Amino acid sequence: MLSGIVTAILLTAFLGGAYWLFGMHRASDFDAAAQLPLEDSTKDDQP
């Protein structure tokens, strides 16, 4: 009985964390991070 309750609590915490991480309100952060490798870095390389 106790193990079932703990499992339910941990599942709820995992689903809540996954929703917080991948929720739509953070989509702009992920889009900005996805564009970082594509940015031109030559302006930083020049003295």
| Mean pLDDT, all residues of the chain | 86
Residue 30: pLDDT band by 50, 70, 90 thresholds?
confident
**In the prediction, which pLDDT does 1 show?**
94
Domains of the chain: which residue ranges? 2-34
pLDDT at 44 over 80: no
Q: Per the structure block, which two tokens stand in for 41?
A: 């870095």
Q: DSSP 3-state assignment of 40?
A: coil
**In the prediction, which pLDDT does 43 show?**
64
**In the prediction, which pLDDT does 5 show?**
97
Buried-exposed string 9-19: b where 16+ CB fall within 10 A, e elsewhere: eeeeeeeeeee
pLDDT at 46 over 70: no
**In the prediction, which pLDDT does 41 show?**
73
Residues 6 or more apart in contact with residue 26 via CB below 8 angstroms: 20
